Amino acid sequence: EDQVTQSPEALRLQEGESSSLNCSYTVSGLRGLFWYRQDPGKGPEFLFTLYSAGEEKEKERLKATLTKKESFLHITAPKPEDSATYLCAVQAGTGNQFYFGTGTSLTVIP
Amino acid sequence: NAGVTQTPKFRILKIGQSMTLQCTQDMNHNYMYWYRQDPGMGLKLIYYSVGAGITDKGEVPNGYNVSRSTTEDFPLRLELAAPSQTSVYFCASSSSRASYFGPGTRLTVT
């Protein structure tokens, strides 16, 4: 069965303390891995799509990387406004579905 | 540019009542999805559509129905509401590169 696992479930960082979030997956025929940010009471907001191992994408303080078995979302010098839940999802095989992890809740303390 | 819109934002239903959650997108995407999000459980796919007139079941379709008569609209119908359907419902549309989510409908069944 295809699975997407995110770790840690929750992460508290001091402002400026860099760290990484992990998304591991066990799917056949990965077509894309997606990162989203979700603020409380809102829908997920698209951040990145990665398609193949070795690919990297950056946006402000966020950098997403992809290997054959996992993806990392690196947060450099985070600010309190980076506090949110970060979700990853994969699209695999010939299907049209996205499979989501349960997310990492990030809190950045001033 | 509205993206994905959902109505209503909140709703309280009594057990056994029915309702339709509305979803509209203005990005001309063929793919549309309905998810439910429960605390700690991540996003679960209810139904999806790959184009007007074509729908298919996701992971948790029981108790729901959908239709797709136009590219823009993808309503979700709840028949005979049950407490287990208390959740936050998100509609999404996607291109090949990302999914875009609506703001969600918070449904309580009592």
Query: Is residue B76's pLDDT more than 90?
Result: yes
The amino acid sitting at B67 is S
Q: What are phi and psi of A80, to 5 degrees?
A: -50, -35
Average pLDDT estimate for B38-49: 89
Query: Is residue A2's pLDDT more than 70?
Result: no
Contact indicator for A85, A73 with CB cutoff of 8 Å: no
- Find chain B residues with C-beta within 8 A of A98's C-beta: 33, 45, 94, 99
Query: Is residue A30's pLDDT more than 90?
Result: no
Nearest CB to A42; choose among B33, B94, B103:
B103
Average pLDDT estimate for A83-97: 86
Give per-residue pLDDT as tens, B77-96. 998 999 999 999 999 999 87
- Residue A26 CA to residue A4 CA, distance in Å, equals 7
Please indicate whether, in this complex, the C-beta atoms of A97 and B48 are within 8 angstroms of each other. yes
Using pLDDT thresholds of 50, 70 and 90, give the confidence band for residue A1. low
Q: How far, in Å, are A15, B49, B99 from residue A50 at the CA level? A: 27, 23, 13
Q: Which residues pair with B65 in a beta bridge?
A: B77
- Find chain B residues with C-beta within 8 A of A37's C-beta: none
Taking the Cβ of residue A94 and every Cβ of chain B, the question of whether any pair is shorter than 8 Å is answered with: no
